[in-house]
Structure 1
């Protein structure tokens, strides 16, 4: 697959190593003056040296689209100066990985690519990205987070050989950096290791200099400019770290899972109900400053690798869906029941994509349904072919529901207003329930439900 990695520092390079070894096509983006401390094991070095070799990879600086494509065609990794990752517009990546490690999200959106991965603090799975990979040293390092956030940044580096904050070399003053030691040098506690803005910087511990910024760069006071490793293994200065490999393993797992289900499923949103109990067009009712149906369209937009359809009789909904790349399917007779909408959507999806492994049906009036719940349903269906997977809480089941292709024929035989529950009852042994909060399962039936939903947190 085509993968864009934002950032090319040492941890991003560890991620690239895993993906490159798996045969993916890689483009990495950087700022004009990378401040990578462990630069001997970072492809960001290509920005100021033209090329960088790390283990079995070569990163080459690309000046434009053509040179980047040529570099990747030759089997190497293209590195571009592109802080905004605007190259995604012509590269059209399958996956974007934000590995800038800024401890905050500085612009990545879940809709930037079919699958988006955040690395470290600052990202929320299901909001900024499809998943986040944990970067804090410890038992959860490299874990994939499908819902919520990773461990917050503490400002204290991980413990290596009994040292934490002492490992860091920080600028003593604003100004130009003048290193006094090289990466790989052995230093003693109290030794001058650099000068910043004319002020000496002293080592806080004894060990090997594992990282140091390039000389001549402008730094600010307290900026991390280097690090010291008490283990004093010279090979550690020139090989990808255990931490970077663990994070890279988590990213590779997430990418591989996505690759397995890419183009396998479709999403069909059912939005043709007459709103009888509501007493009007409930999908146009406002919740949190926008129409109810737009909440559903936002969620569907998080899964750009899957074709999406919306069954509706509303011109407004159809136009907005089409603007977002979601195909409208018309149902002018909603009074014939939800089964009609289900069959219209399924028929169109199966005709357009005959190789689908399954279809997720989602109703359009669940304002609190979360992207992580939908993601978990897709993940479960990918791992358990032949299943019917739905959201639920305890023994209660609800929407969305993902149907394996083996049930398509039965679904096409439905009639009336009960929908797929008729088929579910025939296959209880095939049901798999993704547990979620009760609020996510609630739909809007009455006008009072709008007021209750408006009070719920985002």
Structure 2
């Protein structure tokens, strides 16, 4: 099974006031942590989707470290980044499954991404998601059966609706630290304590 990873990093970070992608945690930017996790994982291919503040963000990581593409429609919401990333993957890499991850979960590492891949192999389910704080969420692995539904998402809709519509084909893995994401300066302060 060929696995692709799509890192969504196109948002405007309105609540933080500056691009969260370049916010620092333990000597690295949040985006660099996400890139490292993807690059160190067992995935075959990876792509980074950028949007708001793209030029500023691109200066913070070595461009050759990961293919990165612009989402000209980032203002229309997260679904557009999922579609841009998946279109790129399908055109160049033809994966059997993709993992969608964000750049604002500092505790996502290669281990958790590999666990998604290994769980899919073991359970043969079409969707493998992380579970934390009583929610099911990203990072999430989707098999190719769901690519059409991912491409049909609109607005600020993430992939959660697909997951909820197919609970019979869903398996979850525990990832308690997945609940930590960075939206505000306060979140960043708490993280760096």
TM-score by structure 2 length?
0.90
Q: What is residue 5 of structure 2 aligned with on the other side?
A: 267
Q: What is residue 291 of structure 1 aligned with on the other side?
A: 29
1:209-238 Cα offsets, whole Å, 9 max, x none, are xxxxxxxxxxxxxxxxxxxxxxxxxxxxxx
Contact 1:398-1:441 at 8 Å conserved across structures: no
Q: What SS does the corresponding residue of 2:44 show, helix, strand or coil?
A: coil
Q: What is residue 336 of structure 1 aligned with on the other side?
A: 76
1:7-56 Cα offsets, whole Å, 9 max, x none, are xxxxxxxxxxxxxxxxxxxxxxxxxxxxxxxxxxxxxxxxxxxxxxxxxx
Which of 385, 410, 429 aligns to 2:124? It is 385
RMSD over aligned Cα, in angstroms? 1.8
Q: What SS does the corresponding residue of 2:15 show, helix, strand or coil?
A: coil
Deviation at 1:428, TM superposition (A): 1.3
Q: What is residue 417 of structure 1 aligned with on the other side?
A: 156
Q: What SS does the corresponding residue of 2:40 show, helix, strand or coil?
A: coil
Q: What is residue 109 of structure 1 aligned with on the other side?
A: none
Q: What is residue 101 of structure 2 aligned with on the other side?
A: 362
Gaps of 5+ in 1: 1-260
Gaps of 5+ in 2: none
Which of 130, 136, 143 aligns to 1:397? It is 136
Contact 1:444-1:450 at 8 Å conserved across structures: yes
Give the Cα separation in 2 of the matches to 1:274 and 1:441.
Answer: 20
Q: What is residue 91 of structure 2 aligned with on the other side?
A: 351
Contact 2:41-2:113 at 8 Å conserved across structures: no
Contact 1:390-1:402 at 8 Å conserved across structures: yes
- Matched residue count: 190
Contact 1:391-1:441 at 8 Å conserved across structures: no
Q: What SS does the corresponding residue of 2:98 show, helix, strand or coil?
A: strand
Give the Cα separation in 1 of the matches to 2:35 and 2:126.
Answer: 25
Deviation at 1:304, TM superposition (A): 5.8
Deviation at 1:344, TM superposition (A): 0.3
Which has the higher Rg, Structure 1 or Structure 2?
A: 1
Deviation at 1:288, TM superposition (A): 1.7
Deviation at 1:417, TM superposition (A): 0.5
Q: What is residue 427 of structure 1 aligned with on the other side?
A: 166
Which of 64, 67, 76 aligns to 1:327? It is 67
Give the Cα separation in 2 of the matches to 1:424 and 1:269.
Answer: 18
Give the Cα separation in 1 of the matches to 2:42 and 2:162.
Answer: 28
Going from structure 1 to structure 2, the CA distance change for 1:440 and 1:421 (only over 3 Å counts) comes to closer
Give the Cα separation in 1 of the matches to 2:63 and 2:35.
Answer: 10
Deviation at 1:453, TM superposition (A): 1.4
Contact 2:42-2:114 at 8 Å conserved across structures: no
Deviation at 1:281, TM superposition (A): 1.1
Contact 1:321-1:327 at 8 Å conserved across structures: no
TM-score by structure 1 length?
0.40
Greater relative contact order, per chain length (Cα 8 Å cut-off, separation 6+):
2
Contact 2:129-2:138 at 8 Å conserved across structures: yes
Contact 2:20-2:30 at 8 Å conserved across structures: yes
Structure 1 residue ranges, 4+ long, deviating more than 6 angstroms after superposition: none
Contact 2:4-2:97 at 8 Å conserved across structures: yes
Greater helix content: 2
Whether 1:280 and 2:26 are equivalent positions in the alignment is: no
Going from structure 1 to structure 2, the CA distance change for 1:382 and 1:322 (only over 3 Å counts) comes to farther
